[in-house]
Amino acid sequence: MGAAFALFGAAMPGPLVAQEHDHAAPTTDPHGDVPGKKEFNAGELIMEHIGDSHDWHLWGHTHLPLPVILKTPGGWEFFSSGHLMHGHAYQGMHGTYALDHKNKMTVVGVNGEKDEAATQAITDLSITKNAATLILCVMLMCVIFIGMARGYAKRGAAAPTGLASFLEPVILFVRDDIAKNTIGPKHYMRFTPYLLTLFFFIWFLNIIGLIPIFPFGANVTGNIVTPLVLATATFLIVTFVAKWPYWQHMLAMPGIPKPVLVILTPIEIMGHFIRPFTLLIRLFANIMAGHIVLLVFFCLIFIFSKNGESLVGGFATSPFVAAFTVFINCLELLVAALQAYVFTLLTSIYIGNAVAEPHHDHH
């Protein structure tokens, strides 16, 4: 954990915590920089919370600036995203950069307008909120599981204690009920590391998205990128591990008359691609929808109290909204584990189909 804080602290040349100042520049901040401004935009608040960003919004007007890393045709750029707040432009070593209204990094010209060609040429490799949370999750998993492994080596045949005693049934569940059942007793050990990593990675990321306190609380699995990468990993594994019977069943299923094969084969080929795609959509949409529902009901308090003006509206809605939000949060805890389970189970079913031995049961 000390290493984590050193990583954050060393990578930021600017102040560790940046306060927003009142500026004349128009802002899209839903809290309203100008005192007395009562405009509450629920849509913007929701998008800000479930989207990725170059700084970490802690509370109120306090942001934690994260490092910006850009690969430009002229070279690399490192600076703190604190320079980019409120749409300000930053003069780097190889260009001037600003965040546009969709929070994407753009290269701007002298009078502030976006330079299309230069923007296409840069690669934004910043440590954004999601990237930092991914690193945090990986470190958390390493600490937990490497610690567990060392504990088992030290204890020998004795029963596990502490966190290991809680996680051991889960690990055995993934290995036996998911991997062994679907892949078969011959090949399952080869894929169990990937399935275990997948299960705990998704589960931990989902739970991190539900805890609202720093350093947790970033919506990683509800962003399309993370499930995309995981689904691509599954697709690559299934494609490269698949044995000949799998391809044969896909391209020319035995025992089917030729005219039906003409329709069936394209469908099977599409299915090979669509199945990982549904994995992606299922995880992404479930988690994102859960976060949006929570945020929408939370925003109801602000809407009913007219952003602080109407005390009656605020106090009347708060108990119901609080109770409902607690209930939805508990449901989201179930969904977090369930989506991890479904992703892992379906992945192992697809792998099991791919490495299945040819069964000779033609009558």
Partner 1 sequence: MTLLNILLQAAPDASMAVAKAGAVLGAGLAAVGAGIGVGRIGGSALESIARQPEAKADIASNMILAAALVEGVALGAVALGFIVGL
x/- mask, partner 1, residues 95-124, rule CB under 8 A, reads ------------------------------
286 Cβ neighbours under 8 A, 6+ residues apart = 335, 339
In this structure, are residues 299 and 45 in contact, taking their beta carbons and an 8 Å threshold?
yes
Q: How far apart are CA 312 and CA 316, in angstroms?
A: 6
Asked whether the CA dihedral 251, 257, 259, 263 is positive or negative, the reply is: negative
Assess 281 for contact with partner 1 (CB under 8 A): yes
Assess 47 for contact with partner 1 (CB under 8 A): yes
Among 81, 106, 206, 339, binds partner 1 (CB under 8 A): 339
Assess 328 for contact with partner 1 (CB under 8 A): no
Listed ranges 80-88, 229-237, 248-256, 334-342: which one lies at the site for partner 1 (CB under 8 A): 334-342
Query: Which CB sits closer to partner 1, 166 or 173?
Result: 173
Assess 349 for contact with partner 1 (CB under 8 A): no
In this structure, are residues 119 and 112 in contact, taking their beta carbons and an 8 Å threshold?
no
In this structure, are residues 298 and 325 in contact, taking their beta carbons and an 8 Å threshold?
yes
x/- mask, partner 1, residues 284-303, rule CB under 8 A, reads xxx-xx--x-----------
Listed ranges 61-69, 144-152, 185-193, 280-288: which one lies at the site for partner 1 (CB under 8 A): 280-288
Q: Count of residues binding partner 1 (CB under 8 A)?
A: 16
**In the complex, minimum distance from the CB of residue 288 to partner 1, in angstroms, rounded to a whole number:** 7
Query: Which CB sits closer to partner 1, 80 or 286?
Result: 286
x/- mask, partner 1, residues 126-165, rule CB under 8 A, reads ----------------------------------------
**In the complex, minimum distance from the CB of residue 357 to partner 1, in angstroms, rounded to a whole number:** 25
Assess 338 for contact with partner 1 (CB under 8 A): yes
Query: Which CB sits closer to partner 1, 141 or 292?
Result: 292
Assess 345 for contact with partner 1 (CB under 8 A): yes
* Nearest alpha carbon to residue 212 among 295, 327, 318: 295
**In the complex, minimum distance from the CB of residue 285 to partner 1, in angstroms, rounded to a whole number:** 4
Assess 342 for contact with partner 1 (CB under 8 A): yes
**In the complex, minimum distance from the CB of residue 71 to partner 1, in angstroms, rounded to a whole number:** 28
> What does the binding site for partner 1 look like in residue numbers (CB under 8 A)?
43, 47, 278, 281-282, 284-286, 288-289, 292, 338-339, 341-342, 345
